[in-house]
Amino acid sequence: GCVPELLATLAADRALAPRGRSLAVGWLEARDPARAAALLGGMLDEQALDLRRAAVAKLLADAAAGDAAAQLAAHRTALGAARDVDQVEAIATWLTEHGEPTDVAEVLGFIRRWRVSGEYDNVGGGGFAKQYPPEEGGAVPAATDWKPVASSHKHGEIDLNAAVAPKKGVLAGAVAEVEMTTAGQDEVRIGSPCAVAVWVNGRPVTAHESYHASEAIDQYVAAAEFRAGPNTVLVKCCQNEQTEPWAGEWKFQLRIPDP
């Protein structure tokens, strides 16, 4: 009697740690599935991402028995609520297949339009710490100085081998303008198999001198202050001199979601 009530109270209390609340939902599902399902129905805006994921999955499962209009409405709502990349991609695929083309990169917040420099020296890894323009003083290069590059990749990947040249022991810069409706703190999330550094409006945000160790969406996450209106994001992406075939990739992808 009182155990499901206590679990439901714990699960619903957003002041508690997300991990404990998730555990409470799991226990509640084993004791009172109807009550657990009712709780998940109100968790589409959860900060606890596993609970949000479960709420999205429940919304879609409940809609599966409905008509086409109900399923479409549910998938639209789910797309706005989902945060996990695989779940967003699955929902976007469903919407696209049902006559509503959905851009995964846009939903996930990837920046796809950049201006890319030519190559700079990174022999022996010396370029990572060296200041090249526009790192010095944060002056943004003129529009005619750097090559415009637009990504069609679903995760906004910028391939510098294609944009610059497939070379080793070099680095390149990439700059993008990001429009923000309000000022405040958001997250810069970058992934790359190469050494990378990021500046926002001329201020250093994150730097990782690691080569060909791994690559993933949101590999590196850092907070940054943005102003209302246009903001400048600068990326330095460095390629080393390893000759193995798997070390040939020279690329990055970056997105800016709210926390």
**In angstroms, what is the C-alpha Rg of the chain?**
22
The answer to whether residues 200 and 233 touch, using CB atoms and an 8 Å cutoff, is yes
End-to-end Cα distance, the chain:
38
- Check residue 142 and give its pLDDT: 67
Q: Of the candidates 107, 153, 138, which has an alpha carbon nearest to the alpha carbon of residue 202?
A: 138
Question: The pTM is what?
Answer: 0.85
Residue reference for tokens 């006559």 = 99
- Mean residue pLDDT of the chain comes to 92
Work out the average pLDDT over 197-220: 93
Residue reference for tokens 């990749």 = 153
Q: 102 phi and psi, to 5 degrees?
A: -125, 130
CA distance 218 to 212: 16
Three-point CA angle 208, 200, 106, nearest 5°: 90
Residue 166 token pair: 């497939």
Work out the average pLDDT over 71-91: 96
pLDDT at 243 over 80: yes
pLDDT at 251 over 90: yes
pLDDT by residue (tens digit) across 3-46? 888 888 888 899 989 889 999 999 998 989 899 999 999 999 99
> Which of 18-27, 83-92, 135-144 has the largest mean confidence?
83-92
Listed in sequence order, the residues at least 6 apart from 74 whose beta carbon sits closer than 8 Å to its beta carbon are 59, 60, 62, 63, 66
Per residue, the 3-state secondary structure of the chain, as one string, reads: CHHHHHHHHHHHCCCCCHHHHHHHHHHHHHHCHHHHHHHHCCCCCCCCHHHHHHHHHHHHHHHCCCCHHHHHHHHHHHHHHCCCHHHHHHHHHHHHHCCCCCCHHHHHCECCEEEECCCEECHHHCCCCCCCCCCCCCCCCCCCCCEEEECCCCCCCEEHHHHCCCCCCEEEEEEEEEEECCCEEEEEEEECCCEEEEEECCEEEEEECCCCCCCCCCCEEEEEEECCEEEEEEEEEECCCCCCHHHCCCEEEEECCCC
